[in-house]
Structure 1
């Protein structure tokens, strides 16, 4: 395989099936669809952690959060262990980023030659409130999601426009440069469709006359882990009108993001780079979209844990849909493979997407995700293999779903006696990855140290949470959680 340039496009909170090319009945994503038409769509792709900071750490390092100590939105990537960018730098390949990174700060040696308009953790610290899990606080700031839903512009939409402008300008400059035997890599990371669910008017209007509502309500007999998550994030102000506005905003933001992707794809073509540049599109995690009474992410249902993943360009089969399960950890070896490099590291769990796309489907490949952050009463661990999704919760009953016969994940087989054998098989797969109970203990130990560093539980509750990380130049708006412990 000849070494080529690589562009990695990332959105934030884009659920895997909300694309035309993924079979969605009404979403308008013409530019992602055209990328898939000339490349390979990985239909069973997953985040390694359904929350921003640890997901992006796995993306950078190619390793799972428990391998590297990235548990939550207060444990950012700081440059250790090595990222794919470090390998590129060591080989003399130009590499940089434009847009959201969600690492600790701009000065850490994270393997990037440049960072244009980056977004990093608030004050280099992030969401310490998410480390408080026993007892569970209530996050009142979550109510802003319903209140802010609608049509309009936000600092995030302005930021995404600026990211797109900068990306198109950077790509145009590359088109004027002579070819090099050291191909470049650029990571272009946008915020949409991350909340606030306020979409620019023209994109909001695409869906404003539709009857939009969740299809799966919260259940009284739901798993206790999920009940605790819903209790932590306070979404009690989602009436019918606010729900309609939020979903209209979410779909509008996806089409807004797709429009920006289209501008970038057009810039690649205009610069004459299509024949020597590979493009990956991915999101850091999905979004619950009101299903089961939840918004945001933070769980292992398909809405939150499954992500879109598309790759196109040289050496990628066109018009293919791969059924092999993949994850963000697979991006690391893919980026290096594109540059003609590899990492001699036996602890890397991923494989190059170039290899996976070129092979026959392997639906029995196992992929892994974990969650230890805000709202998690204990560690949650997922194994996806074949039609099965197994979710292990430390100290609680597991969940099990057959995604072939029950794609909506309604029928929980986690304690069904007739599925003892498949649960045992999938738990054995989990144990190949980690000891989940030991990982849960380590996460809580590390989080307790972070809480103590910031003055203890009462001080962290008093400081509270701020919802979403603000765009560069904006300030975080904290809301206290003191006195609201569940």
Structure 2
């Protein structure tokens, strides 16, 4: 579609579940700034990442394609610039394209496509090498950190986010004083509400002082025991360290970090207003993926449930309908053409071979005949996972385990797998055919594991990477780091 070229601010958070915003229906979490952004723009209620873990999700977001199309399979295989990104495309066409904050790309000083990277967080020492082990999964010794750090206070991540926002405010005010021949793009990438679940006190206690409900399906008798979840729980044994009191601390910490994030989004939005940029700058907000938030006894990400695979996605500004909610499923692959459209790069050749549909078109009601996909090949899994949304259904196929089917219209909380019910046989068959039209799960699984075996050998093999351990979470720039 043709739209007025303007500047674009993309704000990305880390591990923000779409279920943890007021505008998405949460009745406890307070996110007034994001709610206001949604009210003056378009909110996509069924938006998905391409992989529910940081490095693949961020690589795919950059290059506009699905994981199986580009590689970057897991948290030990970061984006290295070899596949052109929207950053490269715009910079090559003389747009200023600047990032501030977390990128989680290769640290080898390769060209990621930005005009400038300001205080970037990148992968250190190869990333999560234990994720390369895809059989007889090791137990994560650093899993205790999820419970240990939950509570009020500051962490390296809250300090880092404050600095990211400060740098963004400075950049925007200086940009307002410059003459630009073409629209610019500013990518502001925050780390909260990613764990550690340590939230600034004013945000933490607004939730801890409430009678918070326990997470959905938290009791052990309620938890589903799908093979993929058993694999993940046994490797990332976060919940071994929790009791009901510490669960409350963790949930209050997560909710508090969501409000802290919202405060920071508000600072960026207010700076656009103060600097006189609001009328010629669009805004997009999203997260790299979601978070299980203790549901089903799971913490972190890495699952296909809505809490983890879903993402918030809001766009606002010129040519974007206000107060609009789109229920058609969308994906982060749709961001690539949206960014090009936003700054006026409309050459059809730039879109050839890309699976996305511009969010401008989706916001105006376009409903392409397609499915959006989420896939996972990373830590805590022994088999590739592939999910598509098809109408009311969520279909998940594994390279090694039985498939699953959820009827999200009848069962929005994903409590019941209906794949074995005769009434859903036709839907199961159609979903499987639609997934196979997008990729061959077994072939993709083999390809991912071959790459992982190559990297595992490069870093000394199974025993070497297990002996090194894992970080629990990537350190902010300049912060100390310890492997467990």
TM-score tier (shorter): over 0.9
Question: Which residue matches 1:214?
Answer: 215
CA–CA distance in 2 between the matches of 1:334 and 1:345?
10
Question: Which residue matches 2:390?
Answer: 385
Q: Superposed, which structure 2 residues align to 1:79-228 within 5 Å?
A: 79-105=81-107, 107-123=109-125, 125-178=126-179, 180-212=180-212, 213-217=214-218, 218=220, 219=222, 222-228=225-231
Question: Which residue matches 1:301?
Answer: 305
Question: Which residue matches 2:374?
Answer: 369
Aligned-residue CA RMSD in angstroms? 1.3
CA–CA distance in 2 between the matches of 1:425 and 1:355?
26
Q: Superposed, which structure 2 residues align to 1:313-462 within 5 Å?
A: 313-342=317-346, 343-359=349-365, 362=367, 365-462=370-467
Unpaired segments of 5 or more residues in structure 2?
none
Structure 1 window deviating more from structure 2 (217-226 vs 423-432): it is 217-226
CA–CA distance in 2 between the matches of 1:238 and 1:297?
17
Residue-by-residue CA offset, 1:20-77 (whole Å, 9 max, x unaligned): 1111112110100111111000000001000000000010000111111111001100
CA–CA distance in 2 between the matches of 1:397 and 1:417?
16
> Deviation at 1:377?
1.5
> Deviation at 1:347?
2.6
Structure 1 residue runs of 4+, over 4 Å off? 218-221
Residue-by-residue CA offset, 1:246-288 (whole Å, 9 max, x unaligned): 0000000000000000000000111111111111000000000
TM-score by structure 2 length? 0.96
Change (3 A) 1:246 1:80: same
Q: Does the 8 A contact of 1:325 with 1:365 survive in 2?
A: no
Residue-by-residue CA offset, 1:225-256 (whole Å, 9 max, x unaligned): 11111111012011011100000000000000
Question: Which residue matches 1:482?
Answer: none
Q: Does the 8 A contact of 2:326 with 2:365 survive in 1?
A: no
> Deviation at 1:363?
8.9
Q: Does the 8 A contact of 2:161 with 2:192 survive in 1?
A: yes
Q: Superposed, which structure 2 residues align to 1:251-290 within 5 Å?
A: 251-290=255-294
Q: Secondary structure at the match of 2:386?
A: strand
CA–CA distance in 2 between the matches of 1:221 and 1:350?
33
Q: Does the 8 A contact of 2:395 with 2:403 survive in 1?
A: yes
Q: Does the 8 A contact of 2:197 with 2:254 survive in 1?
A: yes
CA–CA distance in 2 between the matches of 1:23 and 1:173?
37
CA–CA distance in 2 between the matches of 1:414 and 1:420?
7
Structure 1 window deviating more from structure 2 (204-213 vs 388-397): it is 204-213
Question: Which residue matches 1:230?
Answer: 233
CA–CA distance in 2 between the matches of 1:220 and 1:64?
30
Q: Does the 8 A contact of 2:130 with 2:379 survive in 1?
A: yes
